[in-house]
Amino acid sequence: MAAGPDGVAGATRLERAFREEWGEVVATLARRLGDLQAAEDAAAEAFAVASVAWARDGVPPNPGGWLTVTAWRKAVDAYRAGGARTASVDPQLLGEVTAAGPAAAAAAGLGEQEMTQTLGDDRLGLIFACCHPALAEEVRVALTLRFVAGLSTREIAAAFVVPEATLAQRLVRAKRKIRESGIRFTVPSQERLAERLRSVRAVVYLVFNEGFAAGGGAELIRRDLCDEALWLGRLLRRLFPDDGESAGLLALMLLHQSRAAARVSDDGRPVPLAEQDRALWDAALVAAGVAVLDKALLRHSPGPYQLQAAIAALHGTAASFESTDWPQIALLYGALARLDPSPIVEVNRAVAVGMADGGLAGLAVLAPVVASGALDQYGPLHAAHGFLLEKAGYAERARGAWARAAETAGNSAVRDELLRRHVDPI
Amino acid sequence: MKYALLIYSQSTAEEYADILAATRQAAAGGTTATGPWTDYTRAALDAGVFAGAEQLTHDETATSLRVQNGDRVMTDGPFMETKEHLLGFYLLNVDDLDAALDWARRMPMHPGQTVEVRAALSGLPWQRVLTE
C-alpha cells in the first residue's frame, strides 16, 4: 500500500475532495441544527442537486459554499414541512431563519456568508461531538469515520467486520443520543478541553490500530483505516497546532506506518521488529514522523504519545536491532510508565533494559509483572520472558516461557488490550 | 435544558432505614443544615440551576399499578425487582450534557451508588398547561 505524499491511498484525490466537502457541509449544518441526522439528510439532498446542476452549468467558483448554502435551504425546507425529526432543533435558531426566510438572509448576504467562513470551528465541533466520552468507544469510532472522515456505512461495517445493518442501527442510536441528550457541536470550554481532546486522540489512535493490527491481503479494507487515521491525525494537528500530544500522535502513527511493508511476511505472518527487513521501511514516512515529533518536543509538554513516538523514532532511525539506542529507549519507557503506568509498558521496558544492560537486568524489571499474573494470558509477556531468560543463559527455562508464549498467542481477550495501547510486541 | 440526575443505590431496605435514622439523629442537635448533600444542594441553588430534588422511600415500600385488560392491577412492590433502587433525583436546568455531567460528578456519592443523567424533553403538548 503506497501512501501518497499526504498519505492518501485507496481513494483518489477527487473522491477525497468530495468527501472533505461532504464532511464540511455536514459539520456546518450539524452545528446549526444540533442534529446529525437532519444535517446528513440535507447534505445528501444538496449533493444530489449539485450532481445535476454542476453537470449542466459547470462547477461554481466556491463549491463548498454552494453546497453548504443549498444544504441549509434544504434543512429549512424540511423544518417547514414539519418533520418530527427536526422538532428538537433550537427554535430560536430556526426562528431567525423562518422569520427572515433564507431568501432574505441570502439577499442580506449575512447568515450564509458567515456559514462558509466558520468551517474550521464547525469541523472541530463535529469531531468533539462524535468523540464525546458519553458515547461508547466503538460508537465514537464509527461516528468519527462516518461524519468526520466521510466513509460510508458499508465501508465502516466491512472494516469492523460487523453486519451493515448492525452498524447503521448503532449510528442511528448515536445520532439520537447526541440530539436528545444535549451533546453540543461546539469546542469544549477551556476546563473541559484537555479531557475531551484526550478522547478525540484515543479515537483516532483506535482507528489506526484497528487497521494496523490487520493482517494479510484479505484485510485490505481494514488497512485503509490507517490512512483514515493518518488523515484525521493531520486534521487534528492542523486544528490544534499548539497541542504537543496531537502532534505526538501523528508522529507515532507515521512512524508505525513506515514499517507497514516489513511487518508482515509474504505468506501473511507477522514479523517481529528484530527480524524485519529494514530496507522495506518507508524512509520518507520515518523522516516525516521524526520532523513532526521534533517540532512537538520543542514545546516541552511531554505526554504518552510523544514518548511512544520518540521510542518509535529511535527504532526508525536505527541501522539494526542490535545497534538501536536501547538505553535511551529504556529511559523513555520508564518515563511512559510514570505518566501512564501499565504492565504492558513494563514488559517493553524490560526488553529495552535487557538489550541495554543484559538479560539479568531485564529479568529484574520483568519479575514483578510475571509474579503479579495480571498478564498471564498475554503472549508477548511470555515471549519477552523467554527472550530475556535466553539472553541471561537460562536455556531450559527459556523454552518453558516460549511454550507459554505460543499457547497464549492470538488470545482475543488480550487483543483488545493490545489494540488499546499498542506497543510493539518484540 | 432540563436534566434529571437519578441516584441509584444498592442498599437494602434495612440498611437504608439505618442510614436515614443516623442522618436524622446527626442533624437533630444542630440548628443549620450541614453535610455534603446540603452543600451540593446549596451549590446548585447558588448557581441558579436547581429545578427540584426529592429523596424517596426504599422501593420495597412501592406500590405499582399495571394496566391489564383495561383494569388497573395493583401489586405490592416496585415495577421491577432489581438490586439497585432509585433513591432520589435532582432536576437541574443547565445548558448541555457536559454541564449536567459536571454536576453529576460533583455529587457526594458513596461506593455502590450510581447516578444516571437523563435529558428531559421539552416542547411537548402536555407541557403547555404548565405555562398557561
Per-residue pLDDT of chain A (426 residues; tens, 9 = 90+): 333 334 344 345 556 667 778 888 999 999 888 899 999 999 999 988 888 888 888 888 888 888 899 999 999 888 888 754 544 455 455 544 443 344 434 433 435 545 544 455 788 899 999 999 999 999 999 999 999 888 889 988 888 888 999 999 999 999 999 999 999 999 898 889 999 999 999 999 988 988 876 644 445 556 678 888 998 999 899 888 999 999 999 999 999 999 988 988 787 777 888 889 999 999 999 999 999 999 999 999 999 999 999 999 999 999 999 999 999 999 999 999 999 889 999 999 999 999 999 999 999 999 999 999 888 888 889 989 999 999 999 989 998 888 888 777 654 444 444 444 344 444
- DSSP three-state, residue A342: coil
Burial class (CB in 10 A: 0-12, 13-18, 19+), A10: middle
Instruction: Provide the angle, in degrees to the nearest 10, between the axes of the packed helices A220-239 and A244-257.
Output: 150
Which of B98, B102, B127 should be substituted to probe chain A, the one whose Cβ sees the most A Cβ atoms within 10 Å?
B98
What is the pairing mode between strands B85-93 and B2-9? antiparallel
* Structural domain contains residue A395: no
Q: Do residues A147 and A23 lie in contact, with contact meaning Cβ atoms separated by under 8 Å?
A: yes
Asked whether residue A158 falls in the same domain as residue A181, the answer is yes
Cross-strand bridge partners of residue B117: B5
* B89 closest CA partner among B20, B34, B8, B18: B8
Domain count of the fold of chain A: 2
- B97 to chain A nearest CA, in Å? 5
Which 3 state secondary structure label does DSSP give B63?
strand
Tell me, what DSSP letter sits at residue A341?
Answer: -
* A207 and A132, same domain (yes or no): yes
**pTM of this prediction exceeds 0.90:** no
Same domain, A94 and A129: no
Q: Is A87 helix (H, G, I), strand (E, B) or coil?
A: helix
What is the C-alpha to C-alpha distance for residues B2 and A378, in angstroms, rounded to an integer? 46
Q: Are residues A213 and A182 in the same domain?
A: yes
In a shared domain, residues A196 and A85: no
- Which residue of A181, A185, A189 is the best one to mutate when testing the B interface, meaning the one whose CB has the most B CBs within 10 A? A181
Is residue A184 within 8 angstroms of chain B, CB to CB? yes
Residues 6+ apart with CB under 8 A from A196: A128, A131, A132, A133, A188
Nearest CA in chain B to A128: B98
Phi, psi of A37 (to 5 degrees): -65, -45
A58 and A147 together in one domain: no
Name residues whose C-beta falls within 8 Å of residue A107's C-beta, 6 or more positions apart in sequence.
none
A132 interfacial to chain B (CB closer than 8 Å): yes
Beta bridge partners of B119: B3
CB of A290 within 8 A of CB of A313? yes
In chain B, how many domains are there?
1
Length of chain B: 132
Asked if residues A86 and A42 have their Cβ atoms less than 8 Å apart, the reply is no
Q: Determine, for residues A188 and B1 on separate chains, whether the beta-carbon distance falls below 8 Å.
A: no
Last residue of a domain, one of A69, A89, A117: A117
Nearest-Cα residue of chain A relative to residue B122: A88
> Smallest CA–CA separation between A88 and chain B, in Å?
8
> A–B: how many Cβ contacts below 8 A?
30
Domain boundary among A223, A240, A257: A240
- Beta strands (DSSP E) in A193-349 are none
* Angstroms from B74 CA to nearest CA on chain A: 33
Structural domain that includes position B116: 2-131
| Residue A413 CB neighbour total at 10 angstroms | 9
Interface contact A184-B96, CB threshold 8 A = yes
Tell me what pLDDT residue B18 has: 92
Among the candidates A117, A139, A158, a domain finishes at A117
Q: Are residues A143 and A198 in the same domain?
A: yes
Q: Is B1 on the interface with A (CB under 8 A)?
A: yes
Q: Give the list of residues 6+ apart from residue B48 with CB closer than 8 angstroms, or none.
A: B93
CA distances from A124 to A24, A255, B98, B116 (A): 10, 25, 16, 28
Rounded Cα distance, B27 and A212, in Å: 60
Q: Inter-chain contact B98–A184, Cβ cutoff 8 Å?
A: yes
Determine, yes or no, domain membership for A63.
yes
Give contacts of B3 with chain A, Cβ < 8 Å.
Answer: 182
The residue segments making up the domain with residue A19 are: 13-117
B127 in contact with A, Cβ within 8 Å: no
Q: Does the ipTM surpass 0.95?
A: no
CA-angle at A66, arms to A61 and A67, nearest 5°: 130
Asked if the Cβ–Cβ distance from A181 to B119 is below 8 Å, we say yes
B123 touches chain A (CB under 8 A): yes
Q: Return the CATH number at B30.
A: 3.30.70.1060
* A109 and A161 share one domain: no
Cβ atoms of A59 and A21 within 8 Å: the answer is no
Q: Does B81 score more than 70 pLDDT?
A: yes
3-class SS of residue A34: coil
**pLDDT computed for residue A120 by the predictor:** 59
A18 and A69, same structural domain?
yes
In a domain, A214, yes or no: yes
The answer as to whether A103 is a domain residue is: yes
CA dist B50 and B27 (Å) reads 23
Chain B residues within 8 A of A88 when measuring between CB atoms: 123
Q: Give yes or no: residues A46 and A57 share one domain.
A: yes
